[in-house]
């Protein structure tokens, strides 16, 4: 994995929409006037939401100007966190957890499925421009590992079959229901086990 993928084609300018300008003011109110640069993270996220899930360089410059900090300082933040995307993402943006518990439970296979059904390269759009995927660190659903996040929803208890089914469902926008793909509720035991010692 190399550094964050930054889109080659960039919009010339970026400004907040009227609603987001109001939200921006709300965000800035949370910080003392002379510490307003602390608002960099929520503002970047706001910009990402407005711009279909990714932040253009013009947006970074716009936010830096708003907060009166050098461009590079906002750029540092935007490249550091995986939550910020600097290149267009698909309508279905898949984040695959590959941290240890998921890895042990076979997240490698899920990554292979992503490469096969979405795009060969991480962070790049699929051929139909409908989806994209990245690897991320722990998303906090280890009990149902391996798991992925698609936009704001978790899909858990995956295997090659269910992952394939999900990725193929992007074509006709018929995603399966969220949560465990093995049919269990939350993280309740599989096969009605009541204790750990009984099988």
Q: Which residues bind another protein (CB under 8 A)?
A: 1-4, 57, 70-73, 75-76, 79-80
Measured between alpha carbons, how far is 136 from 1 in angstroms, rounded to an integer?
11
Residue 178 C-beta: closest distance to another protein, Å:
30
**Which residue number, 2 or 199, has a Cβ lying nearer to another protein?**
2
**Which residue number, 51 or 79, has a Cβ lying nearer to another protein?**
79
The Cα angle at residue 47 between residues 43 and 49, in degrees rounded to 5? 115
Whether cis (ω within 30° of 0) applies to the bond prior to 146 is yes
Residue 68 C-beta: closest distance to another protein, Å:
11
Residue 89 C-beta: closest distance to another protein, Å:
18
Q: DSSP class of residue 106? A: T
Q: Which of these, 130, 123, 142, lies nearest to 171 by C-alpha position? A: 130
Measured between alpha carbons, how far is 133 from 135 in angstroms, rounded to an integer?
7
Residue 130 C-beta: closest distance to another protein, Å:
27
Length of the chain: 199
Residue 196 C-beta: closest distance to another protein, Å:
36
**Which residue number, 34 or 199, has a Cβ lying nearer to another protein?**
34
**Which residue number, 28 or 58, has a Cβ lying nearer to another protein?**
58
CB-CB contact of 91 with 73 (8 Å): no
**Which residue number, 80 or 189, has a Cβ lying nearer to another protein?**
80
């Amino acid at each position: 994995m190399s550094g964050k993928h930054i889109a080659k084609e960039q919009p010339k300018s970026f400004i907040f929409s009227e609603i987001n300008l109001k939200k921006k003011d709300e965000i800035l109110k949370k910080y003392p006037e002379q510490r307003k640069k602390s608002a960099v993270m929520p503002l970047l996220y706001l910009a990402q939401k407005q711009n279909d899930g990714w932040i253009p360089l013009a947006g970074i410059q716009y936010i830096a100007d708003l907060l009166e900090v050098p461009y590079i300082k906002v750029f540092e933040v935007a490249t550091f966190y995986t939550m910020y995307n600097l290149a267009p993402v698909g309508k279905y943006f898949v984040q695959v957890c590959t941290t240890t518990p998921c890895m042990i439970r076979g997240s490698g296979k899920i990554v292979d499925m992503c490469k096969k059904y979405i795009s060969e390269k991480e962070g790049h759009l699929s051929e139909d421009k409908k989806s994209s995927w990245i690897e991320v660190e722990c998303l906090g659903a280890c009990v149902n590992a391996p798991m992925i996040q698609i936009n704001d929803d978790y899909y858990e208890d995956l295997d090659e079959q269910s992952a394939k089914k999900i990725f193929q469902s992007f074509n006709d926008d018929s995603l399966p229901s969220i949560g465990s793909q093995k049919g269990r509720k939350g993280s309740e035991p599989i096969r009605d086990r009541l204790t750990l010692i009984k099988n």
